[in-house]
Structure 1
Amino acid sequence: MDQHLPRFTSAEAYNAAYPDCPVPADAYERNALRAYHAAMTGVRDDLVGTGSSLTVEFLPGGAPGPGEPDRTGTVVASNWGRGPILVLAEQVSLRAAWKVVTGRWPARLSEVSAALGTLSLPENR
């Protein structure tokens, strides 16, 4: 299991560390985000042992839809916005992250992580 993913016990702890890419506190707003959840079954955690089916969230604001401008942000996995929150990618194009994830339709967290690993990192990293 990969214990190197940044991990936060709650949305509040994550939001304190990533104030520019927050998980919405409001459940309705959070559920309205364009997220990936493997055909509504959730992504099986085979990396860190949370014992949960996880949702992959694109923050801030969800993955951009067609016709929406792209944003740079953070990709996380969580149990529907609750802790633990696992940071999978930082400072990435949310559109590119959405495309690489949905292009593979992963069912396991390791597959999501591998897909995101193919994204180019910003030059300053």
Structure 2
Amino acid sequence: MTGEKSADEPVRLLLVEDHAAFRQALAFVLSRQPCFEVVAQAGTLDGARAAIGRGIDVALVDLMLPDGNGADLIAELRETNPSVRVLVLSASLGEENLSRAREAGADGVLDKTVSPGEIAETVRRLRSG
């Protein structure tokens, strides 16, 4: 057994976003697609850390969280699951934050203002390699 997912298995998502309304709306939109399963949501780094062991395929991570920077979570996600893909989804995309996210190993970066369709398409691309 290789641990790879078959094409018909949903992509398991972790959403890390401190704005609950945005996070819940995103979870709703993504979970309505047959290829995605939102397995955990968190509004803080601590909440996200509690979900790390849930077999996450793709984590969507905000950078500015109440208890720290989401970039700090990326290395922890990768330690637990080296194949996890991380999409930074943030409104705080200044050069310092972008550099920090890239150095931490983010696979992609999107501004929160993009459409839900663009987010979904980016998650699909990240998961497929």
TM over 0.5: no
Higher normalized contact order (CA 8 Å, seq sep 6+, divided by chain length): 1
